[in-house]
């Protein structure tokens, strides 16, 4: 996925396939800074043995949402 920092309407109206290809080639040679930092963090995490311990979200949130929605009157 490519991030341009522009609004959807600008991309739809102003970008064409040759420009998108050129931008992709440029990003391949010179990745955006945030991509480079993310890669560096992943390399350091792997080198230091740090694992991603984020827990998957429970399905209880869906039940809480249903319960909250039942409290509102139907109009």
Six token digits for residue 16: 């064409």
Q: What is the DSSP string of 61-72?
A: HHHHHHHHHHTS
pTM for the full predicted model: 0.39
Q: List C-alpha distances in Å: 25 to 1, 17, 31.
A: 13, 12, 10
Q: What are phi and psi of 51, to 5 degrees?
A: -110, 155
Six token digits for residue 20: 């998108």
Q: What is the pLDDT along the chain (75 residues), one digit of tens a residue?
A: 456 777 888 888 888 889 888 888 888 888 777 767 778 888 888 888 887 766 666 666 667 777 888 888 775
């Amino acid at each position: 996925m490519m991030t341009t920092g522009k609004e959807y309407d600008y991309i739809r109206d102003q970008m064409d396939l040759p420009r998108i290809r050129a931008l992709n080639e440029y990003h391949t040679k010179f990745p955006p800074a945030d991509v480079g930092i993310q890669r560096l963090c992943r390399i350091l995490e792997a080198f230091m043995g740090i694992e991603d311990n984020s827990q998957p979200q429970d399905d209880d949130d869906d039940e809480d949402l249903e319960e909250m929605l039942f409290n509102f009157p139907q109009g």
